[in-house]
Every structure is written in structure tokens, then in C-alpha cells.
Amino acid sequence: MSRSFTIAAAQLGPIARDEPRRAVVARMIALLDRAAAADCRFVVFPEMALTTFFPRWHLTDPAEVFSYFEESMPGPETQPLFEAARARGIGFYLGYCEAVAGRTGADHLGFNSSILVDPDGRIVSRYRKVHLPGNAVPDDTLKLQHLEPWYFIDGDLGFPVADTLSGRVGMLLCNDRRWPEAWRMLGLQGAELVCLGYNSPSQLPDNPRQNPLRKMHHLMPMQAAAYQNGLWIVAAAKAGMEEGCHMMGHSCVIAPSGEVVALSSGDGDELLPYRIDLDATAEYKRFFDFATYRRPNAYGLLTEPH
């Protein structure tokens, strides 16, 4: 299997609070159709791709919170996505909320997770988000809450890298992209491609001075990470005005040089295909040559709690 192939960020426009899974899955299958027409081998869907981004609200009805979680993957409503992808010979990355059996109530029901599914329809890797941003307890004084540490449990699988797509492939989720340690964990394992889905508001009403910098703060850490670790990044957004909150688009493909080589242009469902060559990572991996030049003895502070 060639190490040069077409991959796509499969950006999703807004998902309504009451939009049924089967409608979202139908939208995703329509993107798979476009991906097949573009000869893609792999597509990257967003974080929490199956539902609206509910952590923006303090929800008190356990039944509603539970409705945003998947008890199994694939489950009855996501099975058609797996079948459609396999029929087209396309693998995918999917972000979703993973329920943990036995949890009750309206908080900490499970993980903010992602999976890698190969073109044969097999789940080859799982990731549970490590960097959960926002407030750990509801704070109704905020203009925009972001309650991931309230709804989710900290990821406990580390930063896995899978041998698939003829290369080494890792996963991250949204806020992880702002943390260099996450990328380095993947880089140290030889990752050549990292898939990332995200739900990022385009405005931060409680930190308005950052608003004009939002696009830069999205791209800059990933451009640095791609270059410093010699890897490709494909990042897929939830975009557009979702339940009154505008979600940043700017899905992108970033090369191991750090260059943004593809960038989405709209606020809706959009496929962003790009042909990548995993062998293009070698030049940058050689340039940094971790085995020769890293100085772990000088980095002890990085792993000490502060």
C-alpha cells in the first residue's frame, strides 16, 4: 500500500440540539460520497461529531446528558457510517462521547473520545481526551460556559499511535492541540500523521481580547507541532452558528514543514481533500533527530506536578 494517498478533513456545519443521530450520520455519509469521488483513503470527522456541543450548557436533566453519549461503537445508529465507509474503502477518525457503564447523574458520564477506523472497517485505535478545557463545576456567572471537566472523565489511555494507512497514526482532540506535550508524546512514538477533531468557539466572550487572535491561536500551535515533530496534521472543525454559538471553521491540513497546505473556506459541511506523502516526514524527523539531540535529562520539570 502506497504511503502517498489522499486524505480529507470532513468538516461539519452546525448540529442542532434536537438533530437526530441518523440525520447527522446521513450528512457524514454524504461527505463520504464526496470523499470517494475525490479518491480519498481516509477522512477526519470533528470532535463530538454526532451531536451538538452540549458542554456549552449546564444541563441538569440526566436523560438529556446521557442522550449525547454512545453506549457502544459502532452502535445501532452509527453502524451505517461504518458500513458506508467500508463499502467505499475509506477509513475514518471519529470523535464522540463514550459512555462508561454504571455511571448515573448528569456529570462525569464518560470520556470525550475518538477512534481510528481502517479502510476495512476495523477500529484500530482509541483515544480519550487528556486536556479537558473549561470549568470543572458549573459557573452561571460566565457568559459562555465550557463544562468539559464537569461532563467528562480525564482520558486514561495516554497518547496511542497505531500502525495503519502504511504509517504511524496518532489522534488528539481539540484543546490538546494547544499543548506541546501532547504532540511530543506522539512525535516520540514516531507519529507521521495526527488526526484531530475540534469544537472551538470563534469568540470567547469572557476573554474578548483573544477574539481577534482566535484563528492564529488555532493554527500556530499546530504549525509548530507539525514542524517540531515532523508530521502531517489533518484537523476537522465543527463550524458555523450552532445553537447561538459561532464555531470556528478553518479545518486544515498542515505539512511536516509547518505550512498550512489546505484550509476550509465555509461554515458548513465541507470536504477538504489533500494528497499527502508520509515519506515527506523523514526530512524533518532527520533534521530534529530526537535520538541525537534531545536532552531528556534537562526536562525533568516537564513531568513533575506543579
Does 178 bind ligand CDT (CB under 6 A)? Our answer is yes
Decide: 224 and 185 in contact? Cβ < 8 Å.
no
Which are the catalytic amino acids?
Answer: 47, 129, 174
Q: Which is nearer to ligand CDT, 106 or 142 (CB)?
A: 142
Q: Which is nearer to ligand CDT, 243 or 277 (CB)?
A: 243
Among 11, 114, 175, 202, binds ligand CDT (CB under 6 A): 175
Beta bridge partners of 276: 5
Which stretch, 6-14, 173-181, 183-191, 281-289, contacts ligand CDT (CB under 6 A)?
A: 173-181
Q: Which is nearer to ligand CDT, 62 or 134 (CB)?
A: 134
Q: Residue 285, Cβ neighbours under 10 Å: how many?
A: 16
- Contacts for 255 with CB less than 8 Å, ≥ 6 apart: 226, 232, 261, 276, 280
Minimum distance from residue 266 beta carbon to ligand CDT (Å): 19
Among 113, 200, 251, 264, binds ligand CDT (CB under 6 A): 200
Minimum distance from residue 185 beta carbon to ligand CDT (Å): 17
Among 62, 80, 121, 134, binds ligand CDT (CB under 6 A): 134
Does 133 bind ligand CDT (CB under 6 A)? Our answer is yes
How far is it, in rounded angstroms, from Cα 290 to Cα 211?
36
Q: Which is nearer to ligand CDT, 24 or 85 (CB)?
A: 24
Strand ranges in the chain using DSSP code E only, listed in sequence order: 4-11, 40-44, 91-99, 110-117, 123-128, 161-164, 167-173, 193-198, 232-237, 240-242, 245-247, 252-254, 260-263, 270-277
Which stretch, 36-44, 194-202, 239-247, 282-290, contacts ligand CDT (CB under 6 A)?
A: 194-202
How far is it, in rounded angstroms, from Cα 253 to Cα 274?
7
Chain-centroid distance, C-alpha 157: 15
